[in-house]
């Protein structure tokens, strides 16, 4: 899986569009309500127990699907941003999505690595879905950022950086369990 394949182009869009519109580096932050974080953790909590090896195999696929759904949800939320009001609403949702990534990563950390065959299957599925997400977003993300006023753009830049911080931390476990580069370097446990 290449979370970086989707994330780094988005960060570049933020930086370029911020410079194009004269946005500042001072990103406004809106804290997500505590219940939003609790709700996101609860979505995954009932499946966070360490499973036996046989059950881990199917759980890896479930987690991969949840990761892909979270990526799609991210794209959907970002494409709704039109102004400060919609950006603030998107921030609340991105916090929940980021918390889902964190919870899934914590679950993966407790699991055995999948075997090479399962890693290959999951990796191919994830690459196909990531391509769909990229196609869905296309130039829409850049156009959205360029259409925002400077204050909203600065706010969006800050919320995306916070979101990507969570995703990057979670991405370490996801790369370990789903990346084919890792499959060649690290045998299944």
C-beta separation of 140 from 146 below 8 A? no
Question: Which residues constitute the domain of residue 110?
Answer: 3-20+58-185
What is the gyration radius of the CA atoms in the chain, in angstroms? 17
Domain presence at residue 30: no
Could you read off the pLDDT of 14-73 as tens digits, one per residue? 444 444 444 444 433 334 444 444 444 444 444 444 444 444 447 888 998 999 899 899
Domain presence at residue 44: no
| Domains held by the chain: number | 1
Q: How far apart are CA 85 and CA 46, in angstroms?
A: 33
Domain presence at residue 32: no
Domain presence at residue 11: yes
Domain presence at residue 28: no
pTM of structure: 0.69
Residue 175 or residue 40, greater confidence: 175
Mean of per-residue pLDDT scores for the chain? 74
Domain presence at residue 12: yes
């Amino acid at each position: 899986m290449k979370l970086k394949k989707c994330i780094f182009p988005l960060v570049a869009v933020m930086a370029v569009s911020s410079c194009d519109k004269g946005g500042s580096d001072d990103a406004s932050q809106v804290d997500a309500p505590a219940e939003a974080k609790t709700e996101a953790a609860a979505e995954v909590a009932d499946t966070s127990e360490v499973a036996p090896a046989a059950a881990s195999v199917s759980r890896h696929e479930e987690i991969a699907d949840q990761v892909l759904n979270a990526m799609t949800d991210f794209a959907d939320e970002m494409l709704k941003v039109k102004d400060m009001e919609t950006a603030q609403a998107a921030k609340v949702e991105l916090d929940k999505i980021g918390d889902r990534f964190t919870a899934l990563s914590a679950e993966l950390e407790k699991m055995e690595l999948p075997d090479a065959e399962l890693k290959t299957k999951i990796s191919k599925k994830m690459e196909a879905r990531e391509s769909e997400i990229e196609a869905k977003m296309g130039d829409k993300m850049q156009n959205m950022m360029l259409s925002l006023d400077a204050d909203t753009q600065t706010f969006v830049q800050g919320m995306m950086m916070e979101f990507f911080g969570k995703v990057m931390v979670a991405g370490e476990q996801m790369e370990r369990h789903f990346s084919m580069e890792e499959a060649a370097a690290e045998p299944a446990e």
